[in-house]
């Protein structure tokens, strides 16, 4: 079953998408396909089309240097080439040459990229890289598409003769014109061209004084056009040479056509590839313009639109500098009938049309304006009942039309059908129409189809609340200003705000109260309840948003504080290191000064400074040992950090645990990692302090081996 009828395409304004696409096409074949693009009932082919489009979209979005799609179609050449002794036009050879160059460039682009773009690579199966075509054509044509002088020896001779005759004609003409200018018989323009021949413009009263052939006159007869006698034979010769040139060119092109005809299958493949890429390229351009993407395609029937836009509304608003709010809508087998209610002009119809148009675009092989994390599936039928469809021709009222449409829906709907019903049940007596609409709603629900329904009827809202796999939703409304927010919210029906809107628009309060008294009290109470619920929900959402915003600000402040604290701590650490280093240097300086103060220079005693020098030597030795100890400590720490402990297999310990138990204070032990021996100074549980020369380390017992 495949039901994407023309009425559905019309209701959802799909023709606008087709027009956009047609404008983006290059060749007429692609434009025709884009103009007539419709939903594809072949789901397997549709997936392949979407994958090809996504690959091309990736190329464009990533800024890849894909060759420009500048080409001319080859349909005329493909039609002529099989004909015996046929001759292609000069432009035909140029088109074939350009197509060959473009396809060669495309093949180079996709070379060794089969894994990156598998579906697009599949399109290249019938073409191959060759320069034979272009080389054959380039022997005859120059880069401007003109036939070269040396295309054949005969053509070279003919064109040389033509040039010689033309030069002689121009010399003769210029000489004759200078002579007649002195005689004063020429008109203001002096010369012109008649039938491609250069002729003199003679004042008619002097025409008998000029020797030559009269070839015409001006409209008023005041000027006569005369071909100089000296050029008559030369011009005749030029015409014959020109005819010879034309025949030789025909022969050259005939030979070239036979040569090119051998490549007919490849030329046909060029046409098919380039028109297909043109078709895909146009769809890609639209996707880039709409910021569209490919959602996940689910085998199970479901719709989860994230940040979805109605493309036509979005483009119109963008042109006017307006903001378009995105919609988030989720439907699956547990919530397959979505009933949207709320006030008029609140966005119910746009939300419904967004779902429908996005679905039509996807099933026509187009990327859609949704977040790529969205999920969609394919339907066998998308059917709509939107707007006023009176038929004067068939004498059908709106309600009669809707009843016939509903009968059609009841006949064809199944679990792979998506129904889009706007203002469901309207067009007749509210109570009677509402009751019939409720029955229709139940029948459609029982057919397990998916549907988006907008309505003002309370009984439809209640029915959606009671049915297991149906759900209510509403378009949010600012309950203070009574202005639409154009945001969709799922979970509860919406109030129509009939009386509130009437009051805001200046309708007297007594008339509103009178209207309330004329309807069922339960309906008034329900509408008031819905209004109050929406008001409370709006208030709670506001509080929630404020809370989320406050949390975000607090989180950002905390992160900023921690970063600044970390920077300050690092700075403080470096300052402390510098202070300690400077203090050490100060102490060394003070010590050195004390040595200098005590050093005796004005003395006759030979050993006056001996004791001082011994003290200096001892001091330097101690300081040197401290430096060596510090270096050794750093070295051991580095070795411990760099060496990973050996894995000990279960049941086979490297060191007998009873041997480790012998370790006591003053025991000699060896570190398993560094093989260094030391003396135990202190034992604190499993942590043992060991002296290794000048260095003391705390080591776990299991990392030591008892020596003695």
- Asked if 190 and 123 sit in the same domain, the reply is no
Distance CA 429, CA 145 (A): 74
pLDDT tens digits for 39-80? 998 999 999 999 999 999 999 999 899 999 999 999 999 999
- Asked if 107 and 180 sit in the same domain, the reply is no
Q: Please check whether residue 355 is in contact with residue 379, taking contact to mean a CB–CB distance below 8 angstroms.
A: no
Q: Is residue 536 part of a domain?
A: no
* pLDDT value at 628 more than 60: yes
Q: Which residue has the higher pLDDT, 116 or 695?
A: 116
Q: Please check whether residue 440 is in contact with residue 460, taking contact to mean a CB–CB distance below 8 angstroms.
A: no
- Asked if 281 and 324 sit in the same domain, the reply is no
CATH of the domain at 34: 1.10.1420
**Structural domain tally of the chain?**
4
* pLDDT value at 654 more than 60: no
- Asked if 46 and 138 sit in the same domain, the reply is yes
Confidence of residue 656 (pLDDT cuts 50, 70, 90): low
pLDDT at 182: 87
Rounded to 5, what percent of the chain is helix, strand, coil?
Answer: 55, 15, 30
- Asked if 488 and 391 sit in the same domain, the reply is yes
Which residues form the domain of 704? 648-708
Tell me the HSE value of 121 on the side-chain side, using a 13 A CA sphere: 11
Q: Is residue 518 part of a domain?
A: no
Distance CA 338, CA 470 (A): 6
CATH of the domain at 381: 3.40.50.300
% of the chain surpassing 70 pLDDT: 84
Strand partners, 695: 692
What does the pLDDT average to over 379-393? 73
Tell me the HSE value of 491 on the side-chain side, using a 13 A CA sphere: 6
* pLDDT value at 431 more than 50: yes
Q: Is residue 137 part of a domain?
A: yes
* pLDDT value at 448 more than 90: yes
pLDDT tens digits for 275-319? 999 999 999 999 999 999 999 999 999 999 999 999 999 999 999
What does the pLDDT average to over 377-395? 73
Q: Last residue of a domain, which of 440, 463, 494?
A: 494
- Asked if 483 and 346 sit in the same domain, the reply is yes
Q: Could you tell me which residues come within 8 angstroms of residue 615 by beta carbon, excluding any fewer than 6 positions away? A: 595
Q: Is residue 569 part of a domain?
A: no
CB burial of 530-567 (b: ≥16 within 10 Å; e: otherwise) equals bbeebeebbeeeeeeeeeeeeeeeeeeeeeeeeeeeee
> Six-digit token pair at 318?
């963008």
Which H/E stretch holds residue 470? strand 470-478
**Numbers of helices and strands, H then E, in the chain:** 21, 19
Question: Which single residue is written with the structure tokens 């949704």?
Answer: 370
pTM: 0.68
Distance CA 365, CA 292 (A): 12
Q: Last residue of a domain, which of 473, 494, 515?
A: 494
Radius of gyration of the CA atoms of the chain, in A = 47
Cα angle 38, 42, 46 (rounded to 5 degrees) comes to: 70
Cα angle 357, 360, 365 (rounded to 5 degrees) comes to: 130
Q: Please check whether residue 94 is in contact with residue 141, taking contact to mean a CB–CB distance below 8 angstroms.
A: yes
pLDDT tens digits for 148-193? 999 999 999 999 999 999 999 999 989 988 988 888 888 888 888 8
Q: Last residue of a domain, which of 494, 524, 548?
A: 494
- End-to-end Cα separation, the chain, in angstroms: 92
- Asked if 442 and 482 sit in the same domain, the reply is yes
What does the pLDDT average to over 558-575? 84
Q: Is residue 654 part of a domain?
A: yes
% of the chain surpassing 90 pLDDT: 45
Lowest mean pLDDT among 268-282, 437-451, 563-577: 563-577
Q: Is residue 575 part of a domain?
A: no
pLDDT tens digits for 108-148? 999 999 999 999 999 999 999 999 999 999 999 998 889 99
- Asked if 281 and 344 sit in the same domain, the reply is no
pLDDT tens digits for 483-530? 666 777 776 665 555 655 666 667 777 776 676 666 655 555 556 655
- Asked if 127 and 188 sit in the same domain, the reply is no
- Asked if 368 and 490 sit in the same domain, the reply is yes
- Asked if 380 and 479 sit in the same domain, the reply is yes
- Asked if 117 and 234 sit in the same domain, the reply is no
Q: Is residue 595 part of a domain?
A: no
Q: Is residue 130 part of a domain?
A: yes
């Amino acid at each position: 079953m495949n039901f994407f009828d023309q009425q559905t395409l019309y209701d959802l304004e799909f023709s606008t998408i087709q027009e956009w696409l047609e404008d983006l096409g290059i060749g007429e074949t692609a434009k025709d396909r884009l103009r007539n693009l419709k939903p594809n009932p072949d789901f397997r082919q549709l997936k392949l089309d979407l994958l090809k489009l996504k690959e091309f979209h990736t190329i464009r979005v990533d800024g890849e240097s894909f060759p420009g799609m500048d080409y001319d179609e080859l349909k005329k050449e493909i039609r002529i080439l099989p004909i015996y002794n046929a001759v292609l036009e000069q432009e035909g050879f140029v088109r074939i040459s350009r197509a060959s160059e473009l396809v060669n460039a495309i093949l180079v682009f996709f070379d060794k990229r089969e894994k990156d773009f598998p579906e697009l690579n599949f399109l290249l199966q019938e073409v191959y890289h060759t320069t034979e075509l272009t080389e054959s054509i380039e022997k005859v044509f120059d880069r401007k598409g003109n036939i070269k002088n040396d295309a054949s020896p005969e053509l070279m001779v003919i064109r040389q003769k033509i040039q010689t005759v033309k030069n002689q004609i121009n010399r003769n003409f210029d000489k004759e014109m200078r002579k007649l200018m002195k005689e004063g018989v020429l008109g203001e323009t002096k010369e012109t061209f008649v039938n491609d021949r250069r002729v003199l413009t003679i004042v008619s009263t002097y025409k008998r004084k000029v020797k030559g052939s009269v070839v015409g006159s001006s409209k008023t007869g005041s000027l006569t056009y005369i071909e100089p006698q000296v050029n008559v034979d030369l011009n005749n010769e030029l015409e014959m040479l020109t005819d010879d040139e034309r025949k030789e060119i025909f022969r050259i092109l005939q030979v070239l056509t036979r040569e090119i005809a051998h490549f007919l299958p490849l030329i046909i493949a060029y046409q098919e590839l380039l028109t297909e890429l043109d078709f895909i390229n146009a769809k890609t351009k639209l996707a880039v313009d709409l910021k569209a993407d490919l959602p996940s395609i689910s085998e199970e029937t479901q719709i989860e639109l994230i940040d979805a836009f109605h493309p036509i509304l979005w483009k119109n608003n963008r042109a006017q500098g307006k903001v378009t709010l995105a919609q988030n809508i989720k439907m699956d087998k547990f919530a397959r009938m979505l009933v949207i209610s709320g006030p008029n002009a609140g966005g119910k119809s746009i939300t419904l049309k967004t779902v429908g148009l996005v679905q039509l675009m996807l099933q026509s092989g187009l990327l859609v304006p949704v977040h790529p994390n969205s999920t969609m599936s394919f339907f066998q039928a998308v059917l709509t009942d939107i707007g006023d469809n009176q038929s004067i021709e068939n004498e059908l009222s709106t309600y009669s039309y809707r009843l016939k449409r509903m009968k059609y829906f009841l006949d064809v709907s199944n679990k792979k059908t998506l129904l889009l019903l706007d203002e469901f049940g309207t067009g007749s007596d509210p109570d009677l129409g509402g009751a019939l609409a409720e029955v229709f709603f139940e029948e459609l629900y029982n057919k397990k189809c998916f549907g988006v329904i907008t309505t003002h009827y309370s009984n439809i809202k209640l029915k959606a609340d009671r049915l297991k796999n149906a759900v209510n939703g509403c378009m949010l409304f600012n309950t203070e200003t009574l202005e639409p927010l154009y945001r969709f919210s799922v979970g509860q029906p919406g109030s129509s705000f009939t009386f509130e809107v009437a009051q805001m628009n200046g309708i007297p309060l007594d008339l509103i109260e009178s209207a309330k008294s004329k309807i069922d009290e339960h309906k008034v109470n329900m509408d008031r309840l819905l209004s109050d619920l929406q008001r409370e929900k709006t208030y709670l959402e506001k509080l929630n948003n404020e809370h989320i915003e406050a949390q975000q600000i607090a989180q950002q402040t905390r992160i900023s504080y921690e970063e600044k604290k970390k920077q300050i701590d690092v700075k403080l650490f470096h300052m402390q290191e510098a202070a300690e280093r400077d203090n050490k240097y100060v102490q060394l300086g003070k010590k050195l000064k004390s040595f200098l103060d005590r050093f005796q220079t004005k003395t006759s005693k030979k050993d006056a400074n001996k004791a001082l020098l011994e003290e200096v030597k001892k001091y330097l030795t101690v300081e040197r040992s401290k430096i060596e100890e510090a270096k050794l400590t750093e070295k051991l720490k580095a070795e411990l950090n760099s060496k990973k402990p050996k894995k000990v297999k279960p049941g086979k310990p490297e060191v007998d645990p009873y041997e480790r138990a012998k370790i006591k204070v003053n025991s000699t032990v060896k570190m398993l990692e560094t093989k260094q021996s030391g003396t135990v100074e202190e034992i604190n549980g499993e942590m043992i302090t060991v002296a290794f020369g000048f260095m003391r380390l705390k080591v776990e017992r299991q990392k030591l081996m008892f020596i003695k």
